Chains A and B, each alone.
Chain A
Amino acid sequence: MTTIQKKSHNPIAHLTPDDIEQLGRELDAIRAEVVASRGADDAAYIRTLIKTQRSLELGSRVVLLASVFPPAWLVGTAGLSVAKILENMEIGHNVLHGQWDWMRDPKIHSTTWEWDMATPAKDWQHSHNELHHTYTNVLGKDNDLGYGIARVDEEQPWHPMYLGQPLWNLINAVFFEYGIAAYDLELGATIKKKKLKDPEFQRRLKGVLRKIRHQATKDYLVHPALSIPTGSFLSTLAANFTANIVRNLWSNSIILCGHFPEGVETFEKRSIEGETKGEWYLRQMLGAANISGGRAMHLMSGNLSHQIEHHLFPDLPSNRYAEIAPKVRALFEKYGLNYHAAPFPKQLYSAWHKVVRLSLPNGWLAETTLSNAPSQLAKLYKMATGGPKVRRAIVARDKQLARRAA
């Protein structure tokens, strides 16, 4: 990934400022159409979904009361995993975006909703709705790029610690909800700035710890204890743990697919100074990737399979993204832009491939073949064990060799 401004072929070079503003107006029109037609059917959709999700969760937890019996464990764990995914993605994420605020139902409102997640809704709304959705894919502004722990761009200098990046990434995926909580707290930056004693940070930390305590009490104490009469304490605990991990892995995968596959553009900090609405739209169009698939995929991904549409219109009801997707896609074609959509396995592979590629020095993975593997490994060893000087020398020599070959 190289920022769009530094690419040899800039995919938006053919658009004039007038084109971009016209594009913005056409997208505004799509939005206005949906806003004008929101109504009883949409309200019925979210209410039915919430009812279904709650019934599924309740049913699964009842089945798990006898989780010592393997079929009960399997059915209950599967049901609870699906319920938790629906709760976080198609319901929680979207309600917290304010997609349903227009209903003026205080029970389904972005200011009152709380979700089954380690991070408190308010903290997440700040880092997600305000920061990520405003500064999408702008290096140094959008911390969703690598969540502050990963090397996400060739322009970030390589350091040996990035060799561990695929492993960190996997661990982050497994315990994603806690990663998000730490990220929403800006834990890394706070430690770096030695601001752990800051009263505002302490207040937010307390809030997160309270939320985590409540969540853990529910999943790892109360429900296992309720299962004691059938001798199912440990198996229910394991079921709840499994459902949380399944939900974590799934939501992490969907999010990776939304912004991280090869071909999704990133932007330089300077490029968004004085950005117009049209330019903002354009950045959202190029900074997101869709997952192609059927209705089940859309539902289980919280319609983040329509990540492009979601980033253009984060507060439109998610059940309407599928309907506007063809219109949005037609605009991509009209303006000669690449609508990035591919099936889930392909997007996930692409995203993970990038994680691995960037964990290694620039170009290393692409240049390595079976025959040159020993010399490549030796080079990697040198770069990993040598200091910054050694690394710079090797990078400089590689560049020279490449120039000579060209």
Chain B
Amino acid sequence: MPTLTLRRIAELAVTPLVPDDYLDLFSPLRRGAQLRGRVVEVVPETRDAATLVIRPGADWAGHVPGQYVRVGVDVDGVRSWRAYSLTHGPRADGNISITVKSVPGGAVSPYLVHHTRPGTLLHLEQAAGDFVLPDLSTSAKLLFVTAGSGVTPVIGMLRNLFPSTDEGVLVLPRSDQVDITVVHVAPSEPDSIFLRDLRALDRAGAIRLVPRYDDVHGLLDMADLANLVPDLAARTTYACGPGGLLDALAAHHAAAGLALQTEQFRATTVVAGEGGEVTFARSGAVVDADGSTPILEAGEGAGVLMPSGCRMGVCYSCVTPLLSGAVRDLRSGDLTTAVPGETDPGGVLVQTCINAAAGPCTFDR
């Protein structure tokens, strides 16, 4: 096994570092490297949104439209991770793209939209997410309800179904049986990212677009949905957007007995009581956290190296073992408890980004 021997020699030659630390100097996107991507193009979409075209590292395993990718970016010197929907299906050039809407006062999105230049290295994780389309080999009638940046995974699916070319939108044989209506909700027209794409798809007959702007049409009332989409009952609904919209839609569909698949883009929080002393056993940090501060933020505030991802409870990158004590889910109010001797000795894995202390608790971190 000559390659194994060579690797061993390289390890011995660079200890206490590892060969990757030196190879990263020359080739950060190589096979075997920690997954990164290089920004190759930044396309402004609206005044507060941009699409980043990224050349992923050689180990990028591909994705399915509708999936998201976790992106690690250094903003003001501080590494932050966020999850963004992949806005293209697999592209011929092997690049991937994410579309980011700048959240006012946000730490990461304004930087990505306004200050990212081609050449910037980003940290990536493999694509993930279950918000993908079913097998479309037979005819399908679909309804997408999107709000704000929730349009991005839907755009990913649509671009994959109907590639956009210089000659216009292509309706490929694999997609011609699909009947899609998109209800897109936004505060006002110019802020509707991807509106251009949606309109083009509408004009080409690939989809039927029903735009709803709060400043023109008023806030969307779910009771009107059946008027906007007359054949609502015949369609499978996919919804992506903030918690309030999804809750209303879920209630409406439950009452009407309709199927619904959702992806939430921002955690809805309930103000929980209590709080407590949070101990991070391995780093020795102890923080007094109130009942509405996620464990993740409490730990980061105390300088503990916390794994994190979407920060909204979807990606499970932040799970950390709870050794003892109780935490409360900020979205549902559910309690999770760990009792030494009764629960898993390795701790109960909890999502730190959406759980807050409910009394004193200890984490293995």
Contacts and interface: CB of A to CB of B under 8 A. Distances in A.
Interface of A: 38-44, 51, 54-55, 58, 98, 101-107, 109, 111-112, 114-116, 211, 214-215, 217-218, 221-223, 226
Contact of B77 (A38, A222, A223): A38
Nearest to A215: B15
Contact of B300 (A41, A104, A116): A104
B332 to A, nearest CB: 28
Query: Most A CB atoms within 10 A — which of B15, B22, B25, B300?
Result: B15
Given A54-B22, A58-B22, A111-B305, A42 B13 contact: no
A104 B15 contact: no
B215 interface: no
Interface in B15-44: 15-17, 21-22, 25
B74 A103 contact: yes
B25 A51 contact: yes
A116 B9 CA distance: 17
A103 B77 CA distance: 6
B204 interface: no
B76 interface: yes
A119 to B, nearest CB: 11
Assign chain B's interface to a size class: 20 to 34
B283 interface: yes
B16 A54 contact: no
Contacts of A38: 76-77
B79 interface: yes
Given A111-B283, A214-B12, A101 B74 contact: no
Contact of B13 (A98, A102, A226): A226
B12 A104 contact: no
A355 to B, nearest CB: 32
Interface of B: 9, 12-17, 21-22, 25, 74, 76-80, 283, 300, 303, 305
Contacts of B79: 103-105
Contact of B303 (A40, A102, A116, A222): A102
B13 A101 contact: no
A222 B283 contact: no
Contact of B78 (A104, A111, A211, A215): A104
Q: Interface on chain A toward B: helix, strand, loop, or mixed SS?
A: helix
Q: Interface on chain B toward A: helix, strand, loop, or mixed SS?
A: mixed
Give me the 5 closest cross-chain CB pairs, A-B, nearest first. A43-B77, A114-B16, A104-B79, A39-B76, A214-B15
A89 to B, nearest CB: 16
A223 B303 contact: no
Nearest to B80: A104
B74 A105 contact: yes
Given A54-B21, A218-B15, A103 B305 contact: no
A101 B305 contact: yes
Given A44-B77, A54-B25, A211-B16, 6 more contacts: A38-B76, A58-B22, A103-B79, A218-B12, A218-B13, A218-B15
A212 to B, nearest CB: 11
Contact of A223 (B13, B74, B78): B13
B77 A40 contact: yes
A55 to B, nearest CB: 7
A177 to B, nearest CB: 13
Contacts of B283: 111
Given A39-B77, A111-B283, A104 B13 contact: no
A116 B16 contact: yes
Given A54-B21, A103-B79, A222 B74 contact: no
23 contacts: A38-B77, A39-B76, A43-B77, A54-B21, A98-B303, A101-B303, A101-B305, A102-B303, A103-B77, A103-B78, A104-B78, A104-B80, A104-B300, A104-B305, A105-B74, A106-B305, A111-B283, A114-B17, A211-B16, A214-B15, A218-B14, A222-B12, A226-B13
A58 B78 CA distance: 28
A107 B33 CA distance: 13
B115 to A, nearest CB: 10
